[in-house]
């Protein structure tokens, strides 16, 4: 069966998507939630250790606190309380930290530093995985054992106000609640006012035991304008005033003889220097935790906060309220909280925490008895029993006191060791799903590689031996073997596998597909190795490799190899910047050869040309050398140098990666309040340049719509306060959310896209007009550019303008004049797209995703538009270069009809090679120290990039089919 190269490439990418999804399902398994009946109960708690047969207590010590108020301030960095900002903007809280009855800690949050996983950590004590980043968009109910369920089961009355993620995680748990959406980042006032308006009336009531407040405004300010924004100070002052009101109310309601109240101030995660979160940088994982209660001693001065894990709050609160510790908690008691209790109670608290961790250790590790922490706990438990015997006998000597302190130290060391061992056991992989997904993507990649000669031939068609593969005896034998392996794995596996839970119908279909793919792969390989075999049509790869081809090949392979290093992943932008600079120098060398060395007239000028597609580049249509025609020669020479200059400027615009992300860059300088005029001028100039570069091939209607749309982009940024109109004052302006202005731009985006789509349909259905089709494609491209201009931050508009400028000059003076073939042009577009992904300020850290782009023009959180706009903004660079490639290959009429097929195939291959290699690498490195902080986020980026590439290749295929039918 013969199919077009573009169709073949698109089908391969679609199959790879399924393989990657299956691999992700195994690598990021959805945790199996325990049922309600399996949660911890007071009756399950062990008795106090005791040597001998004397009776002893099996109960939890009495509760330490009567009421607890938990204030979670989203994205509260530790320096916002303990640093200079805290001293300036949170004076009351800072005074409590320095001289009040409080305990202060720096709580370390584990990546991913995203709200929903952090709430899980604060309530279950477990460490969520990166799959929770995806689930963060639509949080399901939390069935895992947690402190909220334990409190409700114990009869505690809980009230919640704030982020509605809590309401989705804990439905029917709160006596009273009012949730506000956490995703509409343009709102940083109403989202907090909706919480505070309940405060006074709730604090006056006596019908609750636990009050939870989750404030979102600070996080939204960070997403909008970063941690150094002028909006941060007033927001911290607002939070400080709220804490003062809560603390004053709790103090006034303290009664003689009753248990003290507890006020907990904490953040779910921190905030990066760009204002985002999700990664593992120090500002993102360091949050303050301040415990305020009359039960603690008053301080004489500021003490350096000690460091604890964020999950340590769960066992501390649980035992402080007389509740069992959640089964899956890996946290350990914050010991200073219990220092005011008797030594017997302190040892009992530590014993309960150790018992819970030891039980979790038994369930998680087969060789738990060999763990150092488990052995230490058993030794401490025996010593505790000896101490209890002496204590109950009435011994009051100094020996008993020293022995108790020794047992206390033993318990603390055991807790630390067991908690650390459990934290290391995060990677519970579904290896069966991972292996099946890996085999599938590897098969598809091999199929792409074997079919390369046919896919890049002049006919751009691939012969697939489908019938012979599916009707062969090996196919049925392989199906039988795979089904046997499936039964064997599913009946012998200790842990449940995702594939084992599927119906047999789906398993048989998947097995038949995989076996058919393997048989087809073997059949194709056999054909290629048979003597005398040769693809139909002359292949574009028949000629010897040029120096540029070798560079492109070495660069692609070198980048793939670099993915095996965590440092190269963190600083991947450096790899692409280096490759892009090298490419520009290689192109400059080709230009010099074309315009200077061929003048010698040796008759072998063609050997210096990088391409063999179409007529020789050295000849004009009339057959004469076109060097002397105007200044094209000098413009061609200047193009690589101009590209290098643009890339150097763009590198300074956004510091990205990890090592140097904290250093100031041009973007920080432009976004400061003092340089708003410069940013406004630069943004306006960039928008004007965009118009002149894009409008040249559009219809008059599209030109007018583009001009008005770009004006709307500037108006939107002026409305939200990013830039200024000349007649506007710098201060005292009325700011808005810019909803009207953004929707004004959306109308023109849709109008331009509709006009382009109409021209494309007319060129296919009514008349086979090549110019009409080309114009339609360029109009669609201009609509994409307008949408990018709206979503990108104003300081990134020069990135978009430089992208269009480089595309224009490269197309006119390099790709066309030097007659690069479709494969070479595609690889160059791919490299430029990758580099511009990082020029935007992106990295392989989830914290660099600008989620504020998902809410441009929206008044509330709507999931589908928000996800689409965020993904579009993140991958704007690769998308623009891919769209330009389609437009360029279609508009170049001298190219063969196979050029679009070649481009689609090369694009699919370029994306498949690093993805498959990275899947193999990450499987081998799954127990690496940086697997969750470095390798896992990169895997999510690769999967998302593959999805974007698949959509682009489907568009390629649609244009190729139209082009073929017209031809």
3 state SS for 526-585: HHHHCCCCCCCCCECCCCCCCHHHHHHHHHHHHHHHHCCCHHHHHCHHHHHHHHHHHHHH
pLDDT tens digits along 823-835 = 899 999 999 999 9
CA 949 to chain centre: 17
Q: Does residue 312 have a pLDDT over 70?
A: yes
In this predicted structure, what is the pLDDT of residue 916?
Answer: 95
CA 81 to chain centre: 28
Mean pLDDT of 508-515: 89
In this predicted structure, what is the pLDDT of residue 110?
Answer: 83
Cα distance between residue 19 and residue 690, in whole Å: 39
In this predicted structure, what is the pLDDT of residue 667?
Answer: 87
- Which 3 state secondary structure label does DSSP give 103? strand
For residue 308, the surrounding DSSP H or E stretch is: strand 306-309
Q: Which of 218, 418, 213, 157 shows the shortest CA–CA distance to 312?
A: 418
Q: Which of 245, 236, 233, 244 shows the shortest CA–CA distance to 215?
A: 236
State the fold for domain 66-254+268-340: Alkaline Phosphatase, subunit A (3.40.720)
HSE-up of 824 (CA within 13 Å, CB side)? 26
Q: Does residue 754 have a pLDDT over 90?
A: yes
8 Å CB contact between 82 and 128: no
Mean pLDDT of 931-958: 88
Q: Does residue 538 have a pLDDT over 50?
A: no
Q: Which of 820, 877, 797, 856 shows the shortest CA–CA distance to 611?
A: 820
Q: Which of 890, 859, 716 shows the shortest CA–CA distance to 787?
A: 716
8 Å CB contact between 722 and 836: no
In degrees and rounded to multiples of 5, residue 140 shows phi and psi of: -80, 170
Angle subtended by helix axes 232-252 and 217-225, to nearest 10: 170
pLDDT band at 604 (very low <50, low <70, confident <90, very high): very low
pLDDT band at 28 (very low <50, low <70, confident <90, very high): confident
Q: Considering only residues 472 and 184, tell me which one the structure prediction assigns the higher pLDDT.
A: 472
Q: Write down the H helix ranges in 762-893.
A: 770-791, 797-810, 822-839, 863-874, 876-891
The secondary structure of residue 263, as a DSSP letter, is E
In this predicted structure, what is the pLDDT of residue 471?
Answer: 80
What is the three-state SS of 163-191? ECHHHHHCCCCCCEEEEECCCCCCCCCHH
In this predicted structure, what is the pLDDT of residue 846?
Answer: 81
Domain ranges of the chain: 66-254+268-340, 568-603+623-896
In degrees and rounded to multiples of 5, residue 48 shows phi and psi of: -65, 140
Q: Does residue 343 have a pLDDT over 70?
A: yes
pLDDT band at 359 (very low <50, low <70, confident <90, very high): confident
Mean pLDDT computed over every residue of the chain: 84
Q: Considering only residues 428 and 9, tell me which one the structure prediction assigns the higher pLDDT.
A: 9
CA 238 to chain centre: 31
Angle subtended by helix axes 632-651 and 797-810, to nearest 10: 160
Q: Which of 228, 239, 209 shows the shortest CA–CA distance to 71?
A: 239
Q: Which of 529, 551, 769, 571 shows the shortest CA–CA distance to 655?
A: 571
Q: Which of 956, 962, 753, 746 shows the shortest CA–CA distance to 869?
A: 746
pLDDT tens digits along 79-116 = 999 999 999 999 999 999 998 899 999 999 887 788 78
pLDDT band at 615 (very low <50, low <70, confident <90, very high): very low
In this predicted structure, what is the pLDDT of residue 586?
Answer: 92
pLDDT band at 426 (very low <50, low <70, confident <90, very high): low
pLDDT band at 605 (very low <50, low <70, confident <90, very high): very low
Q: Where are the beta strands (DSSP E) in 367-501?
A: 461-463
pLDDT tens digits along 241-254 = 999 999 999 998 88
Q: Which residues pair with 288 in a beta bridge?
A: 106
pLDDT tens digits along 853-884 = 888 888 877 878 888 999 999 999 999 999 99
The secondary structure of residue 818, as a DSSP letter, is T
In this predicted structure, what is the pLDDT of residue 534?
Answer: 53
In this predicted structure, what is the pLDDT of residue 489?
Answer: 87
The secondary structure of residue 496, as a DSSP letter, is -
Four-residue CA torsion sign, 414, 415, 418, 420: negative
For residue 13, the surrounding DSSP H or E stretch is: helix 5-27
> CB atoms < 10 A from the CB of 637, how many?
18
Q: Does residue 585 have a pLDDT over 90?
A: yes
The secondary structure of residue 765, as a DSSP letter, is I
- Which 3 state secondary structure label does DSSP give 366? coil
pTM over 0.95: no
8 Å CB contact between 185 and 115: no
Q: Which of 572, 421, 437, 651 shows the shortest CA–CA distance to 935?
A: 572
């Amino acid at each position: 069966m013969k199919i077009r190269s573009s169709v073949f490439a698109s089908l391969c990418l679609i199959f790879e998507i399924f393989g990657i999804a299956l691999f992700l399902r195994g690598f990021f398994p959805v945790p199996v939630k325990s049922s309600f009946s399996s949660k911890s109960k007071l009756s399950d708690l062990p008795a106090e250790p005791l040597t001998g047969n004397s009776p002893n207590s099996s109960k939890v010590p009495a509760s330490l606190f009567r009421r607890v108020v938990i204030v979670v301030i989203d994205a509260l960095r530790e320096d916002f309380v303990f640093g200079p900002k805290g001293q300036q903007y949170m004076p009351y809280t800072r005074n409590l930290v320095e001289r009040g009855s409080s305990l202060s800690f720096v709580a370390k949050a584990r990546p991913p530093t995203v709200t929903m996983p952090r709430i899980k950590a604060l309530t279950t004590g477990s460490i969520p995985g990166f799959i929770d980043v995806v689930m963060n968009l639509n949080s399901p109910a939390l069935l895992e054992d947690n402190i909220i369920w334990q409190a409700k089961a114990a009869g505690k009355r809980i009230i919640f106000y704030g982020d509605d993620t809590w309401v989705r995680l804990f439905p029917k748990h709160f006596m009273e609640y009012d949730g506000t959406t956490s995703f509409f980042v343009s709102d940083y006032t109403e989202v907090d006012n909706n919480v505070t308006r309940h405060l006074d009336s709730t604090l006056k009531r006596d019908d609750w035991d636990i009050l939870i407040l989750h404030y979102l405004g600070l996080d939204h300010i960070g997403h909008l304008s970063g941690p150094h924004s002028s909006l941060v100070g007033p927001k911290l002052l607002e939070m400080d005033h709220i804490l003062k009101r809560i603390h004053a109310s709790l103090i006034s309601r303290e009664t003689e003889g009753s248990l003290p109240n507890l006020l907990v101030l904490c953040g779910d995660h921190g905030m990066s220097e760009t204002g985002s979160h999700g990664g593992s940088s120090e500002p993102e994982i360091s949050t303050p935790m301040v415990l305020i209660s009359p039960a603690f001693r008053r301080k004489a001065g500021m003490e350096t906060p000690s460091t604890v894990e964020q999950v340590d709050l769960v066992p501390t609160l649980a035992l402080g309220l007389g509740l069992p510790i959640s089964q899956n908690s890996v946290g350990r008691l914050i010991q200073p909280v219990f220092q005011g209790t008797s030594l017997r109670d302190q040892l009992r608290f530590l014993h309960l925490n150790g018992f819970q961790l030891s039980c979790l250790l038994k369930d998680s590790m087969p060789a738990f008895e060999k763990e150092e922490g488990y052995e230490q706990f058993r030794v401490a438990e025996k010593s505790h029993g000896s101490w209890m015997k002496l204590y109950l006998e009435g011994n009051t000597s100094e020996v008993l006191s020293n022995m108790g302190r020794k047992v206390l130290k033993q318990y603390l060391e055991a807790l630390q060791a067991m908690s650390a061992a459990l934290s290391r056991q995060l990677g519970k992989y579904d290896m069966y799903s991972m292996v099946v997904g890996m085999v599938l993507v590897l098969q598809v990649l091999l199929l792409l590689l074997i079919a390369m000669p046919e896919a890049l031939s002049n006919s751009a068609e691939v012969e697939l031996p489908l019938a012979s593969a599916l009707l062969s005896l090996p196919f049925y034998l392989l199906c039988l073997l795979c089904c046997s392996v499936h039964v064997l794995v599913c009946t012998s596996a200790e842990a449940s596998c995702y594939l084992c839970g599927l119906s047999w119908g789906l398993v048989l279909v998947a097995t038949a597909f995989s076996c058919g793919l393997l048989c087809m792969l073997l059949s194709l390989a056999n054909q290629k190795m048979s003597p005398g075999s040769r693809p139909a049509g002359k292949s574009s790869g028949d000629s010897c490799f040029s120096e540029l081809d070798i560079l492109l090949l070495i660069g692609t392979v070198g980048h793939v190899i670099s993915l095996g290093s965590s440092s190269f992943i963190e600083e991947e932008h450096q790899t692409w910047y280096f490759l892009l600079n090298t490419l520009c120098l290689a192109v400059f060398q080709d230009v010099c050869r074309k315009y200077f060395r061929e003048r010698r007239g040796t008759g072998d000028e063609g050997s210096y040309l990088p391409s063999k597609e179409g007529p020789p580049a050295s000849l004009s249509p009339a057959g004469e050398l076109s060097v002397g025609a105007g200044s094209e020669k000098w413009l061609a020479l200047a193009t690589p140098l101009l590209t290098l200059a643009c890339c150097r400027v763009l590198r300074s615009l956004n510091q990205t990666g990890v090592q140097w992300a904290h250093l100031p860059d041009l973007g920080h300088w432009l976004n400061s309040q003092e340089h708003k005029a410069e940013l406004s001028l630069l943004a306006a100039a960039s928008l004007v340049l965009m118009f002149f570069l894009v409008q040249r091939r559009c219809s008059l209607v599209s030109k007018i719509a583009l001009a008005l749309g770009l004006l709307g982009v500037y108006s939107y940024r002026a409305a939200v306060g990013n830039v200024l109109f000349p007649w506007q004052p710098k201060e005292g302006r009325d700011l808005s959310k810019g909803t009207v202005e953004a929707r004004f731009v959306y109308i023109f985006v849709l109008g331009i896209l509709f006009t382009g789509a109409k021209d494309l349909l007319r060129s296919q259905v009514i008349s086979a007009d090549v110019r009409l089709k080309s114009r339609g494609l360029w109009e669609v491209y201009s609509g994409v550019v307008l949408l990018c201009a709206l979503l990108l931050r104003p300081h990134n508009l020069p990135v978009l303008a430089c992208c269009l400028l480089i595309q224009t000059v490269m197309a006119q003076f390099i790709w066309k004049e030097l007659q690069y073939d479709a494969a070479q042009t595609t690889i160059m577009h791919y490299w430029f797209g990758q580099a511009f992904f990082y020029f935007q300020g992106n990295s392989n850290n989830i914290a660099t995703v600008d989620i504020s782009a998902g809410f441009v023009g929206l008044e509330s959180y709507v999931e589908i538009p928000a996800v689409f706009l965020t993904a579009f903004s993140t991958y704007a660079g690769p998308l623009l270069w891919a769209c330009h490639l389609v437009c360029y290959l279609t508009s170049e009429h001298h190219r063969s009809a196979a050029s679009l097929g070649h481009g689609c195939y090369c694009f699919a291959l370029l994306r498949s090679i690093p993805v498959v290699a990275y899947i193999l690498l990450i499987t081998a490195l799954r127990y690496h120290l940086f697997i969750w902080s470095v390798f896992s986020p990169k895997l999510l980026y690769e999967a998302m990039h593959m999805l974007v590439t698949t959509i682009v290749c489907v568009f390629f295929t649609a244009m190729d089919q139209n082009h073929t039918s017209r031809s």
